[in-house]
Amino acid sequence: MKKNNIAIILARGGSKGIKNKNIYKVNKMPLVYWSIKSCLKANRISSVWVSSDNNKILNLSRKYGANTVKRPKRISGDHSLSEKAWRHALIYIKNKIKNIDAVVGIQPTSPIRPPKLLNDGLKKFYKEKLDSLFTSEKILHNFVWKKSHGKFKANYNYKKRPMRQKIKEKYLENGSFYIFDPEKFLRKKCRLFGKIGCFTMSKIHSFQIDGYQDIELFKNLKRYFQ
């Protein structure tokens, strides 16, 4: 039996780095459009929902084929947790769709997200019998410095710099999408819980748009939007 997987895209009206970020045009279309498009084309996703406090975003989302959830202002601020918005939307959707097998939590700041990645992520989620899953980029370097009391300190011995090939691989959570069991999510109130899986993506697919410099970078990646 086909699983009923829903996508919930969080796209509030306010933003810090870019004014009206979710409707800012990237490759001639509003940023939120690219996430809606990918989800609608992913054949493992049954329905697509956009949660927003902004009427313009909600109207555009409906125009592009998504269902919408009006999010309260109290959970739409700069410091509001995504979990609260996903929880609010999920409770609303459950009143309309009784049997939901998995939620794909989407953040529009990662617009280069081919439908195949969403399908493959869901395939992994079920194959490995996961409770939750996050996307990541594999990183093969670990030369990290931090500033403490005005001085820089390295997390490695810079006097005996290790060869890159000998550094253990790590996985950088990129926030492109999450997948989680809906009922367990409502109980845990956290996007990651239980048996957690990691779906690895390329550096290109891991790019996020947080500031205007990122917009300029993405203008040179047009072919990935096709």
Asked whether the predicted pLDDT for residue 226 surpasses 70, the reply is no
Bigger pLDDT: 186 vs 77:
186
Q: Which CATH architecture has domain 5-136+171-225?
A: Alpha-Beta Complex (3.90)
Q: What is the mean pLDDT of residues 28-35?
A: 93
Report DSSP letters for 47-74, one per residue: EEEEEES-HHHHHHHHHTT-EEEEPPGG
Q: What is the mean pLDDT of residues 54-78?
A: 94
What tokens were used for 122?
């869901």
Per-residue confidence (pLDDT) for residue 191, from 0 to 100: 96
Instruction: For the chain, give the percent of residues with pLDDT over 70.
Output: 95
Report DSSP letters for 182-216, one per residue: HHHHHHH-SSS-SSEEEEEE-HHHH----SHHHHH
Per-residue confidence (pLDDT) for residue 208, from 0 to 100: 84
Predicted confidence (pLDDT) per residue in 123-135, tens digit: 999 999 999 999 9
Asked whether the predicted pLDDT for residue 83 surpasses 70, the reply is yes
Per-residue confidence (pLDDT) for residue 224, from 0 to 100: 64
Per-residue confidence (pLDDT) for residue 222, from 0 to 100: 61
Could you give the C-alpha distances from 34 to 71, 106, 145, 189, in angstroms and in order? 21, 11, 35, 27
Predicted confidence (pLDDT) per residue in 97-112, tens digit: 989 999 999 999 998 8
Asked whether the predicted pLDDT for residue 165 surpasses 70, the reply is no
HSE of 24 in the Cβ direction (CA atoms, 13 Å)?
A: 23
Which of 49-63, 93-107, 145-159, 189-203 has the least mean pLDDT?
A: 145-159
* Count of other CB atoms within 10 angstroms of residue 97: 15
Bigger pLDDT: 216 vs 152:
152
Tell me the one-letter amino acid at 184: K
What tokens were used for 215?
């917009």
Instruction: For the chain, give the percent of residues with pLDDT over 90.
Output: 61
